[in-house]
Amino acid sequence: MKTKMKTTLTLLALGATAMFAAAQDNNNDAPPGGPGGLRGGFRPPPLPIVTALDANHDGVIDADEIANASTALKTLDKNGDGKLTTDEYLPARPADAPKDAPKDDHRRPLPPIIKALDANGDGVIDADEISNAPAALKTLDKNSDGKLTRDEYLPPHPQRPPQGDSGNGSENGGDGNNPPPGPPPGDN
């Protein structure tokens, strides 16, 4: 009887452990902050300028796509005025964006691809800049392989500390270069 009771209790404990383990989703493969890696699961829409330039949508702007950049950019000119304004080359704010998401695209840093194409930095990619697009894009090719990868045409993603880390970069509470907060040593 005791053996049967021990076996039953052991099986129940194992079953409960398995049930809790199966129900627990640590979501270790997802970026911090929810889907998209941003607070509240908000992921900004893709840049129309990248979508237009990356014709085969493989995430790489290859040599043929760079050569065809001027033609591709002209497809974004919604009003046919021969130039691209932010409302044409940057994404519109999604209706489901969180209320605290930036409303003004000009406050966010511009991606390298837009900085390269808008040579004079006035926020408008004019006809001359559109014509010069292939040369401007080639300046982003850091490894000179004739194509642009996401890490060359988009800004790096901000790094977040792992959960449970204080985020200061040092085991002792400092940032690795500066001492941890608090009174200096010997000031007790």
Which amino acid, one-letter code, is at 14? L
Domain annotation covers residue 55: yes
Point out which residues pair with 61 in neighbouring strands: 148
Among 117, 108, 30, 37, residue whose Cα is nearest residue 72? 117
pLDDT at 109: 79
Return the amino acid letter for 41: G
Map tokens 């979508």 to a residue: 51
pLDDT at 137: 96
pLDDT of residue 156: 77
Dig out the tokens for 4 from the structure: 């049967």
| Residues forming a β-bridge with 125 | 84
Name the stretches of the chain with pLDDT < 50: 25-39, 105-106, 161-188
Query: Can you give the residue range of the structural domain that contains 82?
Result: 43-92+111-153
Evaluate whether residue 142 is within a structural domain: yes
DSSP for 83-143 reads SB-HHHHSPPPPTTS-TTS-S-GGGSPPPHHHHHHSTT-SS-B-HHHHHTHHHHHHTT-TT
Structural domains of the chain, count? 1
Structure tokens at 107: 């406050």
Cβ neighbours around 137 below 10 Å, total:
22
Residue 74 lies in a domain: yes
Residue 51 lies in a domain: yes
CATH of the domain at 48: 1.10.238
Residue 62 domain-assigned (yes or no): yes
Residue 163 domain-assigned (yes or no): no
What is residue 101's predicted lDDT score, i.e. its pLDDT?
A: 63
Whole-number pLDDT of residue 41: 55
Q: What is the pLDDT of residue 48?
A: 93
